[in-house]
Structure 1
Amino acid sequence: MKAFSYDRARTAQEAIAAFVAAGEGARYIAGGTNLYDLMKLGIERPAHLIDIASLEGADRVDTSGDRLFFGGGALMADIAEDPILLRDYPVLAQSLAKAASQQLRNMATVGGNLLQRTRCPYFRNGANGWYPCNKREPGSGCAAIGGLDRSQAVLGASDACTAVSPGDWPVALTAMDATIEVLSIGGPRVVPVSELYLPPGDTPHLEFALRPGEIVTGIAVPKTAAGRNSTYLKVRDRESFAFALASAAVALDMDGDRVRQAHIALGGVATRPWRAGETEAIVQGHPLTRERALKAAQAAFTGARAGQHNTFKIELGVRTLAVAILNAGRESR
């Protein structure tokens, strides 16, 4: 591991000032569950770390107004067990409870979880130069294309990268129209979660629509009646500490058996959290039946493109989404 210097900030403004002063090579660190891992692999090599785990007010949670608000420094474990979310927005609580392991959730922050790097086995294991990876070294190629691609994306992939976006929480936030509040030397701004993640295109090393030195200070989710009828379904190789092979976040505003409004996003199958607008359009305004749920789920994968070993993810994704839609609908009965 490369040697680095270290600061601990007390306020967001202090952290930003330290970042600007440190210049290129500075990184923020909170729980460190992703960054430390990549540092040990030699993928991330920061020259200076700025600890933002204890910023004043960073762990604030407010569910009393017309929105849900989570400070960027709130712990995943705490939010997953919030009684308001468990009752009124299970899709949010479940997406956190099913992520990683309890030990990691006890350390990881909800803001940091949004900024997990999109990665695949070739990205993680290629720092020694054995495997080309456009995310690590732009222009070097992608070993996953034509390689062992069982876990790779079938939606949103490009000729430069097929790595799957790893998060669960970002999928649920995408479905629920969340926004993030960020702060930099230029002041605060608000970014929709749906615009935070960049498609890989020809530049997969550029992952987030954040400016240098910006800190995620908060996450806001509009309150909606659909929250009560919601679920996060995750299918993976093992029950803990595994990324999704396919996942679905679904929230439905129901009028009897008819869907008034749907909020749906996919994970585990795409290069970023994937809003399933086609699926929403098919279920909205109609009674929720097994046939309609399956038809709507199939529409989400119309443009799917499989590689050599991940064709199964298309059918798995369809079935996972259809079941999640039906499960969310049952919550209203």
Structure 2
Amino acid sequence: MREFGYERVFDIPGAVALLGASPDARFLGGGTNLVDLMKAGVERPALLIDVTDLPLDAVEFTQDGLRIGATVTNSDLAAHPEVRRHYPALAQAVLAGASGQLRNMATVGGNLLQRTRCGYFTDLSKPCNKRAPGSGCPALTGEHHNHAILGGSKHCVATHPSDMAVALAAFDAVISYETADGPGELSMTEFYLPVGDTPHVETALPPGALITGVTLPPAPVAHHSRYRKVRERASYAFAIGSIAAALEVQDGVVRDVRLALGAVASRPWRARTAEQVLIGGPANAEAYAAAADAELAAAEALPENGYKVTLMRNLVVAVLTELTEEATR
């Protein structure tokens, strides 16, 4: 591992200024992803700026929605009573990620910025456009059973690993950040960039930005929501497919619905086509299947990951059917 410096900061302007003075620096929260990448040689920062003492560790629910500070740990977020009450799918998504020990360390800001777990990305002996732009994407013809079926390109088919970000995408989260030029905001739609021909550029955060928090606007439909994760073993594994869903049904008609899919693209995939198909239509399994088919019509599966199309279709139908049955009890 490359030698590096370490600085602990206690105020936001100081943190931003320190990063600006050292372009090779990285902000350090829980370090559950960054430190692993440093050990592998993928990340080689000259300086780690510890932000865990910044005043960004509050979770607040107000009339303006849910505000989550960037240094809130995953464990504290999942256990917060207002999160569990108003956004149950978010609490479930966080609990589905990693182990209890890692959730105790991992932070919300760091979770949003975690890198892909594609084996080619973390193996320095292999080419990878995300790690070394222009070197190629061996996953296209190599191991890709858990890679993207939506939104990929000839330059990259890696998937985003976050469970939490899938739920945040379903509820129109807004990410706040601070730079030397002042504060800014990005919607989840804007925050993660399409792969295109620059897969190494993953977010729209401006250079030198520090994530300060996440806000979820009021969403009554989120009270009736669920996160479902499918993985290759029962715990401590990344998804091969996941869904965050919220549903409001009145008199057998879908009045509101939110859907986001995970482990199918380089970013959390908001299923807006499926939502549009469902709004105002019947709340039944046939309609849910048709909506899933409409969303997945754009899928471009590789030889070994075509199973994900069927998996995600079944997930959409199963989770929305369960929410419908609960709503009519």
Q: TM-score range by the shorter chain?
A: over 0.9
Amino-acid identity (%)? 45
Q: 285, 299, 312: which is aligned to 1:304?
A: 299
Aligned match of 1:83 = 81
On the 8 A contact 1:7/1:50 being kept in 2, the answer is yes
Name the SS of the counterpart of 2:140 in structure 1: coil
Aligned match of 1:239 = 234
Give 1:88 deviation, angstroms. Answer: 2.4
Say yes or no: does 1:295 pair with 2:295: no
Greater shift after overlay, 93-102 or 77-86?
Answer: 77-86
Runs of at least 5 residues in structure 2 that lack an aligned partner in the other structure: none
Give 1:256 deviation, angstroms. Answer: 3.7
Say yes or no: does 1:329 pair with 2:324: yes
| Deviations, residues 265-290 of structure 1 (Å, cap 9, x unaligned) | 11011121111111101211122101
Matches within 5 A, 1:159-238: 159-238=154-233
Give 1:254 deviation, angstroms. Answer: 2.6
Say yes or no: does 1:270 pair with 2:270: no
On the 8 A contact 1:231/1:327 being kept in 2, the answer is no
On the 8 A contact 1:229/1:329 being kept in 2, the answer is no
On the 8 A contact 2:73/2:107 being kept in 1, the answer is yes
Name the SS of the counterpart of 1:191 in structure 2: strand
Aligned match of 1:97 = 95
Say yes or no: does 1:154 pair with 2:149: yes
Say yes or no: does 1:317 pair with 2:312: yes
Taking the aligned partners of 1:257 and 1:103, their CA distance within structure 2 comes to 43
Equivalent AA in structure 2 for residue 83 of structure 1: P
Equivalent AA in structure 2 for residue 109 of structure 1: T
How many pairs were matched up? Answer: 328
Aligned match of 1:55 = 54
Taking the aligned partners of 1:252 and 1:138, their CA distance within structure 2 comes to 41
- C-alpha RMSD of the superposition: 1.1
| Deviations, residues 213-234 of structure 1 (Å, cap 9, x unaligned) | 1111110001111012111111
Aligned match of 2:37 = 38
Aligned match of 1:113 = 111
Equivalent AA in structure 2 for residue 284 of structure 1: I
Taking the aligned partners of 1:65 and 1:331, their CA distance within structure 2 comes to 27
Say yes or no: does 1:141 pair with 2:139: no
Taking the aligned partners of 2:256 and 2:301, their CA distance within structure 1 comes to 31
On the 8 A contact 2:274/2:291 being kept in 1, the answer is yes
| Deviations, residues 234-254 of structure 1 (Å, cap 9, x unaligned) | 101112221111111111233
Runs of at least 5 residues in structure 1 that lack an aligned partner in the other structure: none
Taking the aligned partners of 2:249 and 2:178, their CA distance within structure 1 comes to 37
On the 8 A contact 2:64/2:218 being kept in 1, the answer is yes
Name the SS of the counterpart of 2:305 in structure 1: coil
On the 8 A contact 2:249/2:283 being kept in 1, the answer is no
Aligned match of 2:19 = 19
Report the TM-score, using the length of structure 2 for normalisation. Answer: 0.97
Taking the aligned partners of 2:65 and 2:212, their CA distance within structure 1 comes to 16
Give 1:46 deviation, angstroms. Answer: 0.3
